[in-house]
Amino acid sequence: MKSSRAPAVRTRAIRPPRAEERTDALKSLRKAIRVLECFSLQTPRLSLTDIAHQVGLPLSTTHRILATLRDVGLLEQQSDRDPYRLGLKLLELGSMVLANMEVHREALPFIEALVRETGETAHLGVFDGTQVVSIEKMDSPHGLASNVTIGKGAPAYCTGIGKALLAFQPDEVVTRVCRLGLKAYTPQTITDAARLRKELAQIRTLDYAVDDAEHQPDVRCVAAPIRNHSGTVIASLSLSGPATRIPKGRIPDLAVCVRGVAAKLSSRLGYRGQ
């Protein structure tokens, strides 16, 4: 009599990737990231040749990376001969990042109140490890709108919103920012590491930062840190405007205002310190 038991199904164990395979995958990922980083507001569309030249890769390798990024929606191209541009998938991913950031969800009423009270432009920024990235803004009703773009990085060492974050980073992070170079954007930009560290220490004492036309000529900015429930500085809030509307004598009053609103937002996020 034949047995009714089904024959055992042999399964083959999935082999974990070897070290060299993991290394190759990481190299490919880094190359893809470098390709995406070629695009900017100044160069929103790039050809295969342009991208290959910027990343320093052969045309064939660059073409394979571009084809993969296009297939998954991270890049777009009208036809095979047209230049590439960033895809809507990146906007979708970026929107999810913002939606999952508690500080961004809670900040808008505070930003609106700050603009109403002062009449100046307000920004909300976070630190990405080397730069400050604007994640929300509201322009002044008096014109001269900010040219800062949401999602675009700016130097942390010479912007008020950036210094309010950099001052509360570990020393090794400040060292890394200094080693990357303190480029002079205006005659007011701090380009000496020792002087920058001295100002960051002062910011920690005052709990606010000032950009005195250090990043953009004739634009002043006052910013304060935002803390979460554990007291960690996770973002910063700033007011900025033309120097004619923000003379140096107005900075103390704006500092009180922006610190007060930043403190209320921090409290909303669970911070109970002073």
Give the pLDDT of residue 10.
56
Over the stretch 177-204, which tens digit does the pLDDT of each residue have? Answer: 999 999 999 999 999 999 999 999 999 9
Give the residues across from 131 on adjacent strands: 155
Which position has the higher pLDDT, 6 or 206? Answer: 206
Task: Please say whether the dihedral angle defined by the alpha carbons of residues 235, 239, 243 and 246, taken in this order, is positive or negative.
Answer: negative
Task: Give me the long-range contacts of 25-33 (CB less than 8 A, separation at least 24).
Answer: 28/65, 31/55, 31/57, 31/61, 31/65, 32/65, 32/68, 32/69
Host H or E run for residue 261: helix 251-268
Label residue 173 exposed, middle or buried (CB < 10 Å: 0-12, 13-18, 19+). Answer: middle
Which position has the higher pLDDT, 128 or 209? Answer: 209
- Answer whether residue 1 shows pLDDT above 50: no
Tell me the H-state helices in 100-152. 102-118
208 falls in which pLDDT band (50, 70, 90)?
very high
Average per-residue pLDDT for the chain: 86
Give the pLDDT of residue 174.
96
Domain boundaries, the chain: 19-91, 101-268
Q: Which two tokens stand for residue 19?
A: 């070290």
Over the stretch 213-227, which tens digit does the pLDDT of each residue have? Answer: 999 999 999 999 999
Q: What count of Cα atoms within 13 Å lies in the side-chain half-sphere of residue 35?
A: 30
Percent with pLDDT over 90 in the chain: 59
Strand boundaries in the chain, DSSP class E: 45-46, 75-76, 84-86, 121-127, 131-138, 153-155, 209-212, 219-227, 233-242
Give the pLDDT of residue 141.
83
Percent with pLDDT over 70 in the chain: 85
CATH pick for 101-268 out of 3.40.630.20, 3.20.20.105, 3.30.1360.70, 3.30.450.40? 3.30.450.40
Q: Of 99-108, 250-259, 261-270, where does the model show the most confidence?
A: 250-259
Over the stretch 96-153, which tens digit does the pLDDT of each residue have? Answer: 565 556 788 888 899 999 999 999 999 999 998 889 988 888 888 886 655 666 777 8
Answer for the pair 214, 188: CB distance below 8 angstroms, yes or no. yes
| Distance spanning both ends of the chain, measured CA to CA | 84
- The yes-or-no answer to whether 19-91 and 101-268 have a common fold is no
CA-to-CA distance for 194 and 191, rounded, in angstroms?
9
Cα torsion 146, 150, 153, 154 to 10°: value is: 20
Which position has the higher pLDDT, 184 or 95? Answer: 184
Q: Shortest CA distance to 150 belongs to which of 160, 138, 159, 142?
A: 138
Give the pLDDT of residue 253.
95
Answer for the pair 64, 75: CB distance below 8 angstroms, yes or no. no
Over the stretch 35-66, which tens digit does the pLDDT of each residue have? Answer: 998 988 678 899 999 999 999 999 999 999 99
CATH pick for 19-91 out of 1.10.579.10, 1.10.10.10, 3.40.50.12280, 3.40.640.10? 1.10.10.10
